[in-house]
Structure 1
């Protein structure tokens, strides 16, 4: 679907993208994934499928896609194999990310087949619960936290146990809704995604050898987006697909521990790097704090 020219959200860079462009493109040699072993959860449809395709186009050695539906995984595998012309080994695992034992076994199997550690893990699987806070069952509302927070945490641990020795990268697909404010009937989704956004910097601090980064993929046509109950103009799936690829490149190494949006122009971001690092920007926090005031402390 062609992206709409409408822009609903505030930007960070002056230039805003709705589809891929040369700096992040999978055909750009600077974004090569040659020789890499990549895992994508929620890899059978929409954003996950697009991300897997970008890594295939960029020359990844092995792509493993994890999802719950065998038929969807089989269809995506066939498409990826056709796109790679046999150059990339495509693996599929029908596993729920909440099944810790099964997910650990899948990651271990991928590493065994690869004969090396896993270079990149894109944690894309998620759940948008569309439920009023006083309607339905608590367990149904809480499922957002189970999938988005616990599931991502299980995924991180499975990756940490099978990661590559050099520059392992964990990319968390989040949402701008985690920090933009409140939306009706999406309290489970926004709160769980905010919790996930706060979890990632802690994982970065506790595991400095793993580069962790979160990003908002834009608004992509998908079953999850359709179920959110909110209508926004759509972006092209090529944008988050190639943005994830760029995040895994050497040029994006400085983004570790940050939260970015796929819409933002990466060349502008690179130019702003010094200011971002000096001010500690693109990190979760409390608006207005610190405030430039003269503080009086009383004991």
Structure 2
């Protein structure tokens, strides 16, 4: 059963946001993307388009968007061009098509920031009776697609700044909602992949981000009636994640709802205790066990 419209997720910070605020605003000078080249997958609609628009507002030099539908990309290009002075590029590409990805990245690069937003929600229903092709399509797109996107970024990343890779994930990765096992399991796998990519590539800022609950095509497909956040929330949060103040977030799993000034103040505790990563609840309980051989 999906949460009701009155349901509120627990929060890591005392303040929980549902829309943009000054600390994550694209127009805040501390979040400036001036001179940066940004690429957003699934950037033609929904959250991806909102994030692309935020980077235009933050002054990015170039914003490239990838998607599978040329008409959607054409409409998005017009919207983005009217939002600021950034060069707008569009590429028809599927994130599981390695050759198409490489071509798009090569045509855009060198790239400073990638927002891996494209994803897939399998038809909700019990795992025991799900159509397996659709069920495992979530793993193909959410995990393999994310890895291929990251590999393309490594080939074409900028060397003039700290490259940043932002992976859009979901709170469903660490919650159990019956009938959404394909989405949840593929997303928790994606989150672990991101943690490994961060550990293996210390020169790249690699972070997972839950964007909130938005009125998107995917949300409509889910059938969930939970209350929605404003699109400005994940858009601004994604811009903040690539800012100088977020230099410490690599390997973390963060929610757009959480207050970034509180997160910055909690940085010592988060890093010292290894918080905001995926793991096994309750482990370790015993720090120094008695080893019997």
Question: Which category of TM-score, normalised to the shorter sequence, fits these structures?
Answer: over 0.9
Instruction: Return the alpha-carbon distance in structure 2 between the equivalents of residues 177 and 5 of structure 1.
Output: 16
List per-residue Cα deviations over 1:46-104 (Å, max 9, x = no partner): 100000000000000000000111111111100000111xx210000111111111111
Whether the 8 Å CA contact 1:56–1:88 is kept in 2: the answer is yes
Which runs of 5 or more residues in structure 2 are unaligned?
none
1:149 aligns with 2:147: no
1:223 aligns with 2:228: no
TM-score by length of 1: 0.94
Instruction: Return the alpha-carbon distance in structure 2 between the equivalents of residues 33 and 293 of structure 1.
Output: 44
1:163-182 equivalences in 2 (<5 Å): 163-165=157-159, 166-180=161-175, 182=176
RMSD: 1.3
Structure 1 residue aligned with 2:76: 76
Cα drift, residue 121 of structure 1: 0.2
Cα drift, residue 230 of structure 1: 2.0
Instruction: Return the alpha-carbon distance in structure 1 between the equivalents of residues 55 and 210 of structure 2.
Output: 18
Tell me which of 229, 234, 243 is aligned to 1:240.
234
Instruction: Return the alpha-carbon distance in structure 1 between the equivalents of residues 248 and 282 of structure 2.
Output: 25
1:62-141 equivalences in 2 (<5 Å): 62-84=62-84, 87-111=85-109, 117-129=110-122, 130-141=124-135
Which runs of 5 or more residues in structure 1 are unaligned?
112-116
CA 1:142/1:5 → structure 2, altered by over 3 Å: closer, same or farther? Answer: closer
SS of the equivalent of 1:157 reads helix
TM-score by length of 2: 0.96
SS of the equivalent of 1:83 reads coil
Q: Which moved more, 1:220-229 or 1:127-136?
A: 127-136
Instruction: Return the alpha-carbon distance in structure 2 between the equivalents of residues 6 and 45 of structure 1.
Output: 27
Cα drift, residue 183 of structure 1: 1.2
SS of the equivalent of 1:38 reads strand
SS of the equivalent of 2:24 reads coil
1:11-90 equivalences in 2 (<5 Å): 11-84=11-84, 87-90=85-88
Instruction: Return the alpha-carbon distance in structure 2 between the equivalents of residues 190 and 196 of structure 1.
Output: 10
List per-residue Cα deviations over 1:253-285 (Å, max 9, x = no partner): 111110000000000000000011110000110
SS of the equivalent of 1:40 reads strand
Structure 1 residue aligned with 2:278: 284
Runs of 4+ in 1 over 4 A off after TM superposition: 4-7
1:8 aligns with 2:8: yes
Cα drift, residue 207 of structure 1: 1.1
SS of the equivalent of 1:64 reads strand
Whether the 8 Å CA contact 1:123–1:171 is kept in 2: the answer is yes
Instruction: Return the alpha-carbon distance in structure 2 between the equivalents of residues 46 and 6 of structure 1.
Output: 23
Structure 1 residue aligned with 2:263: 269
Whether the 8 Å CA contact 2:5–2:225 is kept in 1: the answer is no
Cα drift, residue 6 of structure 1: 4.9
Whether the 8 Å CA contact 1:131–1:141 is kept in 2: the answer is no
Instruction: Return the alpha-carbon distance in structure 2 between the equivalents of residues 254 and 98 of structure 1.
Output: 30
Instruction: Return the alpha-carbon distance in structure 2 between the equivalents of residues 74 and 132 of structure 1.
Output: 38
Cα drift, residue 139 of structure 1: 1.5
Instruction: Return the alpha-carbon distance in structure 2 between the equivalents of residues 293 and 156 of structure 1.
Output: 36
